[in-house]
Amino acid sequence: MSMYTHFKTSDYLTVSSIKSIYFRRFSSMPKIAVIGAGVVGLSTAINIQKRQPSAEVTIIADRFDKQTTSHGAGGLFRPNVEHTLGVNPDTVTRWSVEGFKFYSSLAVSPESRDTGHMIMPGYVFSNTEIQNPLYKSLVFSFRQLTPDELRKLSVNYKYGYQVTTVITDCSRYLPWLMTRFKEHGGTVENRHVKSLEEFVGEYEVVVNCTGFSSRELVGDKSVYPVRGHLIRLKAPWIKYWVYTEDSAYFVPSFDTVAIGGIRQKNNFSLDIDPKDTAGILERCYKLWPSLKGAPIQREWVDLRPHRDPLRLEKEVMKFPKGSLNVVHNYGHGASGITLSWGTSLDAATLVAEHLNQNTSRL
């Protein structure tokens, strides 16, 4: 059975045994709040619904869809350990396996147009040999280009790899996730959360999926920005992606081609810097002259929410008003789209552990 078929409504409705346990133990269904409506919050909320069908799940956020960091991302599935520092490589692999299983099942499903998933071939170019990348055994195909193939592509790199992977267009995926969440009884509140203390006594578990804003919400200054900048071109003739190690890459989505990029650590600015725009255009035109002349649709600057390691753990937070069961799931850096499904499965498990502890205390 594909991951996709797990989403059938019937799955949510045929769990009377689990519900009856809760009805016996609690006067009402467990209430769970997920703070954040980016790709991490939405994926987490949906996996909690799957795992806790008796729960009332509410997403609370002050930004949705186009206003989130997730919306603008390139969405290329190319996990690597270097962008997920501090996490055991086996764990990154496990999250990546789950993500690829899910995204590829969506990409081949009749709903792919709505989910925003595309199977897409592309090239990685490098001057150092890439021997065994994490994604090699996960993606649809990976092979080294021959010198003759490299020459025909007219690129100035020693090594090239042909990789067929999956691309997630978040302008479609986020609304699709939100629709699934609401279909399965989820509710949504649009508001800014000042402190998690607001939830004491209101919710059994709160899941913090606030990405970069965890710096403020839970005072976690180990979250740091790696500023990025993408220029979206109208270039329907580009049917593949290209990635290099020299801050020049491009990734098609359904309607545009995103070209980048920059990786500016600890730069907090959300303004478009014309120097960055000029640099990206120059590097990408040099790498791939076929991009020249494509009209610019829009530009986007945002901060990759890095934390080494990303934070995925349970906590019982103590406040003057009382204690609160919290699960944290933030700090996905440059790999939030890639890893969101895998980490949200683990976050749903941590929520279940909190609830089981509550139950066993009764």
Ligand X SMILES: Cc1cc2nc3c(=O)[nH]c(=O)nc-3n(C[C@H](O)[C@H](O)[C@H](O)COP(=O)(O)OP(=O)(O)OC[C@H]3O[C@@H](n4cnc5c(N)ncnc54)[C@H](O)[C@@H]3O)c2cc1C
Residue 150 or 231 having the CB closest to ligand X: 231
User: Smallest distance, Å, CB 91 to ligand X?
Assistant: 16
Please say whether the beta carbons of 38 and 8 come within 8 A. no
Residue 133 tokens, joined:
């990348």
Cβ neighbours around 23 below 10 Å, total: 13
Kindly report the length of the chain.
Answer: 362
Contact 55, 49 (CB under 8 A): yes
CB closest to ligand X, residue no: 336
Long-range contacts of 272-281 (CB under 8 A, 24+ apart): 272/229, 272/299, 272/301, 273/229, 273/301, 276/229, 276/301, 277/229, 277/231, 279/247, 280/229, 280/231, 280/247, 280/248, 281/231
Both tokens of 163, joined, read 């990789």
Query: Least CB distance from residue 51 to ligand X, whole Å?
Result: 19
State the residues that interact with ligand X by CB under 6 A.
Answer: 35-41, 60-63, 68-70, 73-76, 192-193, 209-213, 217, 228, 230, 261, 302, 304-305, 330, 332-338
Give whichever of 150 and 242 is closer to ligand X, judged by the CB atom: 242
Question: Alpha-carbon distance 362 to 357, whole Å?
Answer: 9
**Minimum CB distance to ligand X, residue 37 (Å):** 4
Query: Nearest approach, Cβ of 302 to ligand X (angstroms)?
Result: 4
Nearer Cβ to ligand X (219/293): 219
Question: Which residue lies nearer to ligand X by CB, 53 or 211?
Answer: 211
Q: How far is the CB of 182 from ligand X (least distance, A)?
A: 15
Closer Cβ to ligand X, 74 or 160, answer by number = 74
